[in-house]
Amino acid sequence: MNWKGVFPAVTTKFGEDDQLDYDLFDKNLQFQIAAGVDGIILGGTLGESSVLSLEEKGDLVKFTVEKVAGRVPVILNIAEGATRDAIELARLAEEWGAKGLMMLPPMRYKSDHRETVEYFKAVANSTSLPIMIYNNPVDYKIEVTLDMFKELAACENIQAVKESTRDLTNVTRMRNLFGDRFKILCGVDTIAMEQLVMGADGWVAGLVCAFPAETVAIYKLVKAGRYEEAIKIYRWFMPLLELDIHPKLVQYIKLAEARAGIGSEAVRAPRLTLVGEERERLLTLIDGAIAVRPTLPDYHSIEI
């Protein structure tokens, strides 16, 4: 697994019957691939993992593996409450064809240092798949600390971190302590360029779901040292990127996907689609940004 580049945390598409909409999912998937993303992450927060059945997760992984046809790796997020369930999902992910895992700490129970480390180690030792730790204490209340990473370094297949602490200096702290032992991928859209400049290897992105080309362009321009060009796109993008840090990020980003023509607003209950003033305010923001969408340089030709 090459944990570098842009990895969309894709949304799960639903039809009017609340079933998975594979045609629309594939449409978005092909836009991601054409834009030049480096991997596909399924079953994250944006993927509404908590309301997907195990069967649906399996079908989604197998469908995605078939459609990407080896062009990029498919990664499944693990967000379980019981260690044995996380181990079983890791086993199934490998069976379904996933090439990597993203892992949150235990759900619902606020595990301490020892419990968190043992949870990650138990899953890592049960699978050959490479793992990216998802470190998001803001939303999930457990921080994977630097001291925890010292212990987790013993597991060779724990290879990367989705850095979502919202502390920009954590990139430098990780580099100072571990060098290149762990690949670092920014997990917060609103500080992505800053983390990339500070040495992050990649970007697990949210608004990429609606604007894949702009996201990949920023990544490539930054890594090529073409900061002024990246800044212009990033400044245009920022009001949209802020949708990624709202509690309703799923509804907000799905609305953006719909307005961009590569998704729909449909969510699964208990989430509800946006209505009234809130929806109108978001439409003004999204449609206004689309109306002045920047012309991108030929970022596909940039070698980094």
State whether residue 218 is helix, strand or coil. helix
What is the distance in angstroms between the CA of the first residue and the CA of the last residue of the chain? 17
| Annotated catalytic residue 109 | no
Q: Among residues 57, 99, 162, 183, which one is catalytic?
A: 162
Q: Among residues 134, 219, 234, 299, which one is catalytic?
A: 134
Model confidence at 85: pLDDT above 90:
yes
CATH number at residue 238: 3.20.20.70
Structural domain containing residue 190? 5-301
pLDDT one-digit tens code per residue, 100-138: 999 999 999 999 999 999 999 999 999 999 999 999 999
Determine if the pTM surpasses 0.85: yes
Model confidence at 19: pLDDT above 90:
yes
- The residues near 144 (Cβ < 8 Å, ≥ 6 apart) are 105, 116, 120, 133, 135, 137, 152, 161
pLDDT one-digit tens code per residue, 135-170: 999 999 999 999 999 999 999 999 999 999 999 999
User: How much is the average pLDDT of 259-266?
Assistant: 98
Percent helix, strand, coil in the chain, to 5, is: 50, 10, 40
CB atoms within 10 A of CB 52: 18
User: How much is the average pLDDT of 2-23?
Assistant: 97
Q: What is the pLDDT of residue 16?
A: 87
User: How much is the average pLDDT of 201-223?
Assistant: 98
Chain mean position to CA 115? 25
Mean pLDDT of the chain: 97
Total structural domains within the chain? 1
| Annotated catalytic residue 4 | no
